[in-house]
Amino acid sequence: MYKVTFSSSCSKQLAKLKKNNQISESELIIIRTWVKEMALLGPDYMASCSHWNDHELKDNRSGERSSSFSESGRIIYKVKKGKIEVCVVKITPEHDYR
């Protein structure tokens, strides 16, 4: 079982997206489903499941991964080494890795 946490900047960003109606209730449900699946099944499962389109990132996001929660929305996360912990670093409604 994995512990899924959100970075403080990600938590603030998600609150702002919700406040400004930039993320729908159905997208929030999908994000909660992702968190549950990640906690129960881990990153290897997410990478093998085509539904999430999970993949490794490169360049300035090296060491991080991305999963899709909508056509353009992404959950950017990293697996902390030496711990069974996944930290979500960014949620974006656009296909934006910056």
Residues 6+ apart with CB under 8 A from 35: 4, 88
Q: Write out pLDDT tens, residues 7-42.
A: 888 999 899 999 999 899 999 999 999 999 999 999
pLDDT digits (tens, 9 = 90+) for 38-59: 999 999 999 999 999 999 999 9
Is 17 within a domain? yes
The helix/strand/coil state of 85 is: strand
Taking the C-alpha atoms of residue 88 and residue 64, their distance in angstroms, rounded to an integer, is: 9
Q: Which domain holds residue 70?
A: 3-92
11-20, 63-72, 77-86: least confident range: 77-86
**Residue 97 falls inside a structural domain:** no
Domain count, the chain: 1
- pTM (2 d.p.): 0.86
